[in-house]
A and B are shown apart, each in its own frame.
Chain A
Amino acid sequence: MTDTAIHARGLTKRFGTLVAVNAVTLDVPRACVYGFLGPNGSGKSTTIRMLCGLLTPTEGDIEVLGLHIPQQAEQLKRRIGYMTQKFSLFDDLSVRQNLEFLATVQGLSRQREKSRVAELLKRYHLDDRQEQLAGTLSGGQKQRLALAGATVHDPELLLLDEPTSAVDPESRRDFWEKLFELADTGTTILVSTHYMDEAERCHRLAILDRGNLVADGTPKELTGELEGRTFLVRANSPRAARDALADAPGVLSVAQIGNELRVLMRDNRATVDTLRSRLASAGLEGDTEAVSPSLEDVFVVATHQQQQREEQAA
């Protein structure tokens, strides 16, 4: 057994002329929570679907849990759990019936099925809802049910496609606790999201932008690369300060957060003084300090670089 759960090389998917996923190379280690961060339409779902054999890649090699995909997809299906973006359990079956159905279909023995369903109902706090129809559950409850359904057969690998996109913050935190519990027992989890705070929680993550994998590593590695390039500016008139800074040489992006401006530089040669003098020359006053970079900064830099690469190619 290798310590890599997913191993993909040059993964490409084209729908007609549209390139949904472009030469993505990916290694997911076992027993870790691996995040896919990217905006809608960046190819997250398509990549996940290719990894579990639902879509045939146009090009590239995939090895998941030591199996070649899509050739050995049927064998893989016994060993993975997949949670779709949209709730895909049966609305018109009860919570218990849904879980029992999935347990049987996944090939659990009658005895095992009984104890497993009871265990899942308890673990995901659904025991008082077990006779309720799945369609009438709240967003957070549906999410827990879907996760229970995806893990009914104790899969080695869980693929979760934007599992928390329709869930309130409280339920999201709760949901992530469950994910880490699963990772602790040795389950590998690949989870896609467009929330930065969720991405920060992952052991490792990959950033996708319009089908390209633009950065990957641990959150610390990724933010570490931007050390010395991020500043916070508190100005009296933030809109004017924003305009003054946006065109300044060396500035990559300026984002307003309340009354503060978050400035991201192209390299780490700039200092607090560079920005101060820039503001002064525009006749503005402001307080400037260096701050530690966030994943959002990583995202901005990565997508910017990708844009430049594409412009050069064109």
Chain B
Amino acid sequence: MNLRRLWAIMIKELRQLRRDRVTLAMIMGMPVLQLILFGYAINLNLRYLPAAVADQSQTAGSRAAVQDLLASEVIEQHATAQTPQQLIDLLRQGRISVGIAVPPDFERRKLDGREAIQVMVDGSDNVVQSAAGQLAQYPLNQPDDFHATTETPISVVSFYNPERRSAVNIVPGLIGVILTMTMVLFTAVAIVRETERGNMELLITTPVSRTELMIGKVLPYAGIGLIQTTLVLLLGAWLFQVPLRGSLWDVYMAASLLVLANLSLGLLISTRAKSQFQAMQMTFFVFLPSILLSGFMFPFAGMPTPAQWIAELLPLTHFIRLIRGIMLRGADLSDLWPDSLALLAFIAVMLTLSIRLFHKRLD
């Protein structure tokens, strides 16, 4: 490999990139847009669900219990009702998502240890249902209560994300999603574009070697990937106070692994795709399962076994485990060696395949 030639290809690539406004806008715009979308709009931890209360007991205890539930901020009172039936009507009309019914014998039931409050939930929305589930965890015991019992059956303590904020969970994974989206596409398109425009026919009649060509095209994008990582990290810390408990070095190492994995996948696509459009289709084919199966949106443990197998093949799955480990749990790369190793193996396989499949010939 000739370093001067490699350098010439990289410089050429960067110069072309500088003139490609759409791609430049995508490099910077996509991380910002996605961070804001996922960070603000998509909130899996719901608050302020519209609710109504039908307190038929009207005792000091019942009022205090209702106030406690409202104070959780999971629900917000939007309407009042006299009877449980009215609550059901409101639910059906879609005016509320949660109805709180306090029966007339509230105090008795509490003393007997029976269920004292009924929470009615609009089960047609899964997320609302699970959010309302949190309400059921609330203790009804007041500090001054005669029967004060400290024996809550099961207590759940959330480590690493005590406030259960979605952003904390999503932002680290978002680095991976953005890198997957942009890196695979950029390399795949960068090479196919040269074939489409006829530049490749010229390049392959020069003494440039396959390795020089591939590495020279990919390295500038690796740099861009790390810039995107920095952007998401900074915005994540600034807008959402996402903590960084592990070392910054490990974050960049993990990001580099994912960047290289995606770039080599992009290269492989570029050796097969005949047009830029085909390259985009193939990218999408990888992108969708990455988002859905990697554990970014849905917990990995909850997926059926075949889906888990597929997920294990995707670089994003391993990266999400790495980055959440490093940023949120303060782990380092050696703690998470199986996933680091999986990414390395992926890179090796993809690079070998693509250099083999790329010929300096037209047939």
- The reply to whether A53 and B12 form a contact with Cβ atoms under 8 Å apart is no
Minimum C-beta distance from B36 to chain A (A): 31
Interface centre among B9, B15, B206 (most CB of A within 10 A): B206
What residues of B have a CB within 8 angstroms of the CB of A123 in the complex? none
A contact residues, range: 20 to 34
- The reply to whether B12 and A93 form a contact with Cβ atoms under 8 Å apart is yes
Q: What 1/0 flags go to B191-218 for Cβ under 8 Å of A?
A: 0000001110111111110000000000
Known: A55-B362, A77-B207, A102-B206. A88 touches B199 (CB 8 A): yes
- The reply to whether B202 and A55 form a contact with Cβ atoms under 8 Å apart is no
- The reply to whether B8 and A101 form a contact with Cβ atoms under 8 Å apart is yes
Minimum C-beta distance from A71 to chain B (A): 12
B245 at the interface (CB under 8 A from A): no
B108 at the interface (CB under 8 A from A): no
A289 at the interface (CB under 8 A from B): no
Known: A88-B197, A92-B20, A107-B207. A54 touches B202 (CB 8 A): no
A106 at the interface (CB under 8 A from B): yes
Minimum C-beta distance from B213 to chain A (A): 10
What residues of B have a CB within 8 angstroms of the CB of A106 in the complex? 206-207
Query: Which of A53, A90, A133 meets B199, CB within 8 Å?
Result: A90
Nearest A residue (CB) for B194: A90
Known: A53-B361, A93-B16. A74 touches B202 (CB 8 A): no
- The reply to whether B15 and A82 form a contact with Cβ atoms under 8 Å apart is no
Number of interface residues of B (CB under 8 A): 27
Query: Which of A56, A84, A92 meets B361, CB within 8 Å?
Result: A56
A236 at the interface (CB under 8 A from B): no
Query: Which of A74, A101, A107, A133 meets B12, CB within 8 Å?
Result: A101
Query: Which of B8, B16, B201, B207 meets A90, CB within 8 Å?
Result: B16
A176 at the interface (CB under 8 A from B): no
A91 at the interface (CB under 8 A from B): yes
A120 at the interface (CB under 8 A from B): no
What residues of A have a CB within 8 angstroms of the CB of B5 in the complex? 104-105, 107
Q: What 1/0 flags go to A72-100 for Cβ under 8 Å of B?
A: 01100110101010111111110001001
What residues of B have a CB within 8 angstroms of the CB of A77 in the complex? 205-207
Known: A88-B199, A101-B8, A104-B5. A74 touches B207 (CB 8 A): yes
CA distance A77 to B201 in the complex (A): 12
- The reply to whether A93 and B15 form a contact with Cβ atoms under 8 Å apart is yes
CA distance A158 to B19 in the complex (A): 32
CA distance A97 to B18 in the complex (A): 14
Provide a sorted-by-A list of 12 A–B residue pairs whose CB atoms are within 8 angstroms: A53-B361, A55-B361, A56-B361, A78-B207, A89-B199, A89-B202, A93-B12, A93-B15, A93-B16, A102-B206, A104-B8, A105-B206
- Please list the residues of chain B having a beta carbon within 8 angstroms of any beta carbon in chain A: 2, 4-5, 7-9, 11-12, 15-16, 19-20, 197-199, 201-208, 360-363
State the 5 A-B residue pairs at the shortest beta-carbon distance, nearest first: A104-B8, A88-B202, A88-B198, A82-B205, A86-B198
